[in-house]
Amino acid sequence: MAHAATGTWHTTACILCSVNCGIEIQLGPDGRRFERIRGDKAHPASQGYHCEKALRLDHYQNARDRLTHPLRRRSDGTFERIDWDTAIREVAARLGAVRGTHGGERILYYGGGGQGNHLCGVYAAATRRALGVKFRSNALAQEKTGWAWVGEQTVGGIAGGDFEHCEVALFVGKNPWHSHGVPRARTVLKTIAADPARTLIVIDPRRTETAELADIHLQLRPGTDAWLLAALGGVLVQEELYARAWLAEHAAGVDEVLGALRAVPVARYAAIAGIPEDAVRRTARTLATARGLAVFEDLGTQMTRHSTLNSYLDNLLWLLTGNFANPGGNNLPLPLIPIAPSSARGEVSPVAKAPIIAGLVPCNVIAEEILTDHPDRYRAMIVESANPAHSLADSPRMREALRALDCVVVIDVAMTETARLADYVLPTPTQYEKWEATFFNFEFPANYFHLRPPVLGPPPDSDLLAEPEIHARLCEALGAVTEAELAPLREAAGQGRAAFAAAFIGATAANPKLLELAPVLLYRTLGPTLPDGAAPAAVLWGAAQRLAPRHPDAVRRAGIDASDHELGEALFTRILESRSGLIFAVDTHENVWRRMRARGGTVNLHVPELLGELALLATDGPPTPDPTFPFVLSAGERRSFTANTVYRDPAWRKKDATGALRMSPADAVRLGLVNGAAARVTTKRGSVTVAVEVSDTMQAGHVSLPNGLGLDYPGADGTRGVAGAAPNELTASEDRDWFAGTPWHKHVPARVETAG
């Protein structure tokens, strides 16, 4: 019989995907179990919406492999509990020694937040400065860097589609029915699908749940996006469908692109993609006449061959049709804190000399930058809120790389595959036991932010520190932040925010080095004065003070009113008070153009690096399948019961408990496989055994495995087990985009056989 819940609804958010729907949670009588969960109607973006995954969050909160104490590896590989003073002192000493001997640039920082927690990444910036860390990376460098670079080249940032107002919605390699990425995705998709005046277009080799709803589904052959997208662009140009007047007014580099697309052999490229030519032509005409074309491309096209070129061709579809900075088109949001400060392609990584985009080393070169005798190899790693031993290509090699390092420090809530290989494991409260927020604020014109207070305290017998406190203590132990610097700021904070602002500006102007440590300074000085123990929110004070003077009109349109001088303060106060999240900016299309003027006023179509690659498509057909590996495996599909590795407990899955291999009926018959049968999947890197799900949503020759499976988790009796296959046992780090280094996880040549 269910126990009565405590009655109080705690306002928070779901942490399983980037849209972070507002939810409310009732605790069980023990004050710890998530007894009831419902959507929060007061949340301005989700408005009560949530999907089935949020209802299972107790499997995250009360997981059996939660970390409860700081741990240190013993020489025999087992772990022992240590106290925090020892942990901080030794981690600072070990990493400090690496810096002393080899330099801070030999320490790699990986992670900085998952789908629900980005405060750690902001505070970690201070620790990186304290250690002189130069190189960092995270999952964005295996999906979004190529796309972000293209956005930077063309419109000076990453543009998001306005799916609420668009007439035509285009999803390329994206299945928002399951993966979301758009607030209230299922409602929005159903609304577009039901409206005869609007068109939903999906480009995906599988007949996904989103494709089922679509007016047009271009079910291309896996890995042929570049040809199909080039053909669509080719039709726009060759049939003179592009927005000639708009381009003349707003764009530079048009002629080069028109020339390149005029040369595209549409019929041949359509045939390579396996799409009838007239379907390509009709689709291009639909894009051209749309009053508002919103585009969302995701992993299906970003994690396959031609990744960065695909992003460029996607951008060209909305740029050539004039769908930038317009209602229902694609717009540049105003973030509270940018996830990546700039998406420029800056320096190169130290060993592989791979381009660093958005400040991130491509994930796929990390192992090779460790497993070498190159003098500039990484010697140590800090991993925070990420599980690279599971989520990066070629897990066996990544495990070997982690073992080869002088020191690995993992900051996590759970005993992950990566934590098991660490020298020190620093445990933190869950995202429901501390203040948290994300900076996935990509909406336009209204943009949202949600600072979440803790729902409950840490488990009674645990010894945990939240990330801001860990980073503050590390900075102090490293001598980067001293009491002499903190004392005057603390005193000013005691006199109120105006006095604090003056003191903070004065101190950082006098000593610019302090600016780099600002998160920890704010946390230690302003933090303790914030109400309800909201010290971790201190860093948002800085963010609000930066945003408000730059975009006062956008902040005022969000209903936050104060004099220019006090607008940042008013915004910060509103952030602190808005338990269900808030709209912090309401932007306008004119304002986007105003920002564009700051960089010359025009969008840029010409990206020479990628036009060169486009030309190569003419001679470079899709690879002929290797007879040893005749299938294309999509390694890591989002499904109803996947949520990266946030849920480690396999019991959270009501269906598809072990993550089946999806395959077409034709292939299943040919291989003698039936639903539930065991199949062996082999690639050049490895082999796994999985159950088969015969599905007519798959085309022949294409198989898919879900993401997030294959985690090591203790059963009720403590014996560890693994449910399903970890996709990166099968992937290879050298299979990556030449330009951004993004992996081809959706395009892994594989062999499938019956397995007993």
Ligand X SMILES: Nc1nc2c(c(=O)[nH]1)N[C@H]1C(S)=C(S)[C@@H](COP(=O)(O)OP(=O)(O)OC[C@H]3O[C@@H](n4cnc5c(=O)[nH]c(N)nc54)[C@H](O)[C@@H]3O)O[C@H]1N2
Binding site for ligand X (CB under 6 A): 17, 114-115, 117, 120, 139, 142-143, 172-175, 178-180, 203-206, 208, 222-223, 225, 298-301, 304, 384-388, 391, 411-414, 416, 428, 430-431, 467, 634-638, 642-646, 707-708, 727-728, 731, 745-746
Q: Which is nearer to ligand X, 452 or 556 (CB)?
A: 452
User: Could you tell me which residues are beta bridge partners of residue 662?
Assistant: 693, 704
Q: Which residues contact 440 (CB under 8 A, 6 or more apart)?
A: 18, 19, 20, 115, 118, 339
Structure tokens belonging to residue 560:
């936050």
Which of ligand SF4, ligand X, none does 223 bind, CB closer than 5 to 8 A by kind? ligand X
User: Could you tell me which residues are beta bridge partners of residue 331?
Assistant: 160
- The CB-of-685 to ligand X minimum distance in angstroms stands at 11
- The CB-of-593 to ligand X minimum distance in angstroms stands at 30
Phi-psi region of 134 (alpha: psi -120 to 50; beta: other; left: phi over 0): alpha
Q: Which is nearer to ligand SF4, 180 or 746 (CB)?
A: 180
- The CB-of-303 to ligand SF4 minimum distance in angstroms stands at 20
- The CB-of-641 to ligand SF4 minimum distance in angstroms stands at 11
Segment holding 688, helix H or strand E: strand 687-694
> For the chain, how far is it from start to end, CA to CA, in angstroms?
42
Cα of 411 vs its chain's centroid, Å: 18
**CA proximity to 301, closest of 286, 289, 313:** 313
- The CB-of-17 to ligand SF4 minimum distance in angstroms stands at 3
User: Cβ atoms within 10 A of the Cβ of 123, count?
Assistant: 26
Q: Indicate the DSSP class of residue 364.
A: G
Q: Which is nearer to ligand X, 273 or 603 (CB)?
A: 273
Helix spans in 374-414 (H): 388-391, 395-404
- The CB-of-142 to ligand X minimum distance in angstroms stands at 6
- The CB-of-49 to ligand SF4 minimum distance in angstroms stands at 7
**Three-state DSSP class for residue 748:** strand
Q: Which is nearer to ligand SF4, 191 or 508 (CB)?
A: 191
Which of ligand X, ligand SF4, none does 294 bind, CB closer than 5 to 8 A by kind? none
Which of ligand X, ligand SF4, none does 301 bind, CB closer than 5 to 8 A by kind? ligand X
Which of ligand SF4, ligand X, none does 20 bind, CB closer than 5 to 8 A by kind? ligand SF4
d(CA 327, CA 325): 7
Which of ligand SF4, ligand X, none does 707 bind, CB closer than 5 to 8 A by kind? ligand X
Q: Which residues contact 41 (CB under 8 A, 6 or more apart)?
A: 47, 48
- The CB-of-60 to ligand SF4 minimum distance in angstroms stands at 11
Burial class (CB in 10 A: 0-12, 13-18, 19+), 369: buried
Which of ligand X, ligand SF4, none does 308 bind, CB closer than 5 to 8 A by kind? none
**CA proximity to 216, closest of 269, 280, 157, 159:** 280
Which of ligand X, ligand SF4, none does 646 bind, CB closer than 5 to 8 A by kind? ligand X
Judge whether 390 and 361 are in contact, CB under 8 Å.
no
Q: Which is nearer to ligand X, 351 or 705 (CB)?
A: 705
d(CA 161, CA 144): 16
Q: Which is nearer to ligand X, 476 or 729 (CB)?
A: 729
Structure tokens belonging to residue 252:
């530079």
Q: Give contact residues for ligand SF4 (rule: CB under 6 A).
A: 14, 16-17, 19-21, 50-51, 53-54, 180
d(CA 241, CA 250): 17
- The CB-of-53 to ligand X minimum distance in angstroms stands at 6
- The CB-of-164 to ligand SF4 minimum distance in angstroms stands at 16
Q: Which is nearer to ligand X, 170 or 261 (CB)?
A: 170
Which of ligand SF4, ligand X, none does 580 bind, CB closer than 5 to 8 A by kind? none
Which of ligand SF4, ligand X, none does 19 bind, CB closer than 5 to 8 A by kind? ligand SF4
Q: Which is nearer to ligand X, 273 or 526 (CB)?
A: 273
Which of ligand X, ligand SF4, none does 178 bind, CB closer than 5 to 8 A by kind? ligand X
Burial class (CB in 10 A: 0-12, 13-18, 19+), 226: buried
Q: Which is nearer to ligand SF4, 73 or 579 (CB)?
A: 579
d(CA 352, CA 738): 12
Which of ligand X, ligand SF4, none does 164 bind, CB closer than 5 to 8 A by kind? none
- The CB-of-574 to ligand SF4 minimum distance in angstroms stands at 23
Q: Which is nearer to ligand X, 46 or 634 (CB)?
A: 634
Which of ligand SF4, ligand X, none does 642 bind, CB closer than 5 to 8 A by kind? ligand X
Pairing of the two strands 135-137 and 107-111:
parallel
Judge whether 67 and 433 are in contact, CB under 8 Å.
no
CA 208-212-216 angle, 5° bins = 105
- The CB-of-730 to ligand X minimum distance in angstroms stands at 8
Q: Which residues contact 92 (CB under 8 A, 6 or more apart)?
A: 474, 477, 478
Q: What is the dihedral of CA 644, 649, 654, 656, to 10 degrees?
A: 60
Q: Which is nearer to ligand SF4, 633 or 646 (CB)?
A: 646
- The CB-of-19 to ligand SF4 minimum distance in angstroms stands at 5
User: How many residues would you count in the chain?
Assistant: 756
Q: Indicate the DSSP class of residue 686.
A: -
Q: Which is nearer to ligand SF4, 115 or 349 (CB)?
A: 115
Q: Which is nearer to ligand SF4, 137 or 578 (CB)?
A: 578
d(CA 613, CA 596): 27
Which of ligand X, ligand SF4, none does 21 bind, CB closer than 5 to 8 A by kind? ligand SF4
